[in-house]
């Protein structure tokens, strides 16, 4: 769990009050981005995720609204609320994640370290526990 990090994304405020701009450059995220996707229109009583990755690393940003990210390394759980577009959550491989409690209008941007590979997913929690107990 110690490798999970909330990372500040630089925010540039317009002096004339025309809004803010945030930029994500290579030095902010500890991996090369190979895929980008986003979740939106998620009902507040639904959850997303419910899996872990063997190798893939992920960086989540609440571009709009808010949602909770429940993280589990097999020994402890932690919930982090994302609700600011200038803060991102780095999730290394080997962490079970679930996203829930989506607010109306929430948009979750996900930047990831690899293209989609089904074989990198662990979708059963008991399999996750067994796999990572043998590797940690």
Of the candidates 48, 51, 84, 87, the residue annotated as catalytic is 51
User: What are the tens digits of pLDDT across the range 63-81?
Assistant: 999 999 999 999 999 999 9
CATH code for the structural domain at 5-133: 2.60.120.10
User: What are the tens digits of pLDDT across the range 84-121?
Assistant: 999 999 999 999 999 999 999 999 999 999 999 999 99
pLDDT of residue 47: 87
Which residue matches tokens 């994640």?
Answer: 97
Q: Is-catalytic flag, 51?
A: yes
What would the two tokens of residue 116 be?
């989609």
Give the SS3 label for residue 40. Answer: strand
Q: Whole-prediction pTM value?
A: 0.92
Please state the φ and ψ torsions of residue 57, each to the nearest 5 degrees.
-110, 155
Q: What is the CA radius of gyration of the chain?
A: 15
């Amino acid at each position: 769990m110690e490798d999970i990090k909330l990372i500040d994304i630089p925010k540039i405020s317009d002096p004339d009050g025309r809004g803010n701009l945030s930029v994500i450059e290579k030095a902010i995220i500890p991996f090369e981005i190979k895929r980008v996707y986003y979740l939106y229109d998620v009902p507040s009583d639904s959850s997303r995720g419910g899996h872990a990755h063997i190798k893939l690393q992920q960086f989540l940003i609440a571009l709009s609204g808010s949602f909770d990210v429940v993280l589990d390394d097999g020994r402890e759980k932690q919930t982090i609320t994302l609700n600011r577009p200038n803060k991102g959550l780095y999730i290394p491989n080997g962490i079970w994640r679930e996203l829930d409690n989506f607010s109306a209008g929430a948009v979750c941007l996900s930047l990831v370290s690899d293209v989609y590979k089904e074989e990198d997913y662990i979708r059963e929690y008991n399999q996750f526990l067994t796999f990572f107990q043998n590797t940690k």
